[in-house]
Copies of this chain bind each other. A is one copy, B any other.
Amino acid sequence: MSDRYLVISSDGHAGPRPEIYRDYLDPSYREEFDRQNEARMKALELAGERLEMRQESQQWASDKAHGLAGAWDGGRRNEVLDADGVAAEILFVDGLTEENSPPFGGDLGLMPVGVDPDHQWAGCRAHNRWMSAFCSESPERRYGLALIAPFWGVEKAVAEIVWAKENGLRGIMLPHMFTGQDPYHHPKYDPMWRACEERDMVIHFHSGAAPMHEYYGLDIFRARDPEQLAEPPVEMPGALGIYVTEVAWWLTRPLVYMIWGGVFERFPTLKTAVTEGSTIWVPELLHLMDQRYGDHHFSAKLGTGYKKHLSMKPSEYFKRNIKVGSSAMSRREAELRHEIGLGTIMWGSDYPHPEGTWPSTQKMMVEVLGGLPDEDITAILGGNAAEFYGFDVAALQPLVDRIGPEKSQFRTE
Contacts and interface: CB of A to CB of B under 8 A. Distances in A.
Contact of A239 (B52, B56, B185, B285): B185
Contact of A238 (B281, B307, B355): B307
Given A288-B280, A328-B297, A302 B240 contact: yes
Contacts of A242: 183, 185, 256-257, 260-261
Interface in A133-150: none
A245 interface: yes
Nearest to A243: B306
Contacts of A284: 280-281, 284
A284 to B, nearest CB: 6
Interface residues of A, number: 62
A389 to B, nearest CB: 26
A186 interface: yes
Residue among A217, A284, A297 with max Cβ neighbours from chain B (10 Å): A297
Q: Is the interface of A mostly helix, strand, loop or mixed?
A: helix
B301 A57 contact: yes
Contacts of A168: none
Given A260-B245, A280-B284, A217 B303 contact: no
Nearest to A179: B214
B53 A302 contact: yes
A303 B53 contact: yes
B234 A186 contact: yes
Nearest to A353: B301
B261 A237 contact: yes
A186 B302 CA distance: 37
B297 A241 contact: no
Given A186-B236, A284-B284, A301 B241 contact: no
A310 interface: yes
B185 A238 contact: yes
Contact of A260 (B217, B241, B310): B241
A394 interface: no
Residue among A60, A280, A303, A354 with max Cβ neighbours from chain B (10 Å): A303
A371 interface: no
Nearest to A236: B185
A27 interface: no
A306 B239 contact: yes
A56 B215 CA distance: 38
Residue among A53, A236, A306 with max Cβ neighbours from chain B (10 Å): A306
A312 B354 CA distance: 27
A259 B355 CA distance: 24
Given A234-B187, A260-B245, A292-B241, A355 B280 contact: no
A116 interface: no
B238 A246 contact: no
Interface string A239-278: 1111011100100010011011110000000000000000
A72 interface: no
A374 interface: no
The 6 A-B pairs with the shortest beta carbon distances in the complex, nearest first, are A238-B260, A240-B306, A241-B260, A52-B303, A52-B305, A244-B292
13 contacts: A52-B303, A52-B304, A183-B214, A183-B217, A185-B238, A188-B234, A237-B260, A238-B262, A238-B306, A241-B289, A245-B256, A245-B289, A281-B284
Given A53-B302, A241-B307, A244-B298, 9 more contacts: A52-B302, A56-B302, A183-B236, A185-B242, A188-B234, A237-B261, A240-B306, A241-B306, A241-B314
Interface of A: 52-53, 55-57, 60, 178, 182-183, 185-188, 214-215, 217, 234-242, 244-246, 249, 253, 256-257, 259-262, 280-281, 284-285, 287-289, 292-293, 297-298, 300-307, 309-310, 314, 328, 354-355, 364
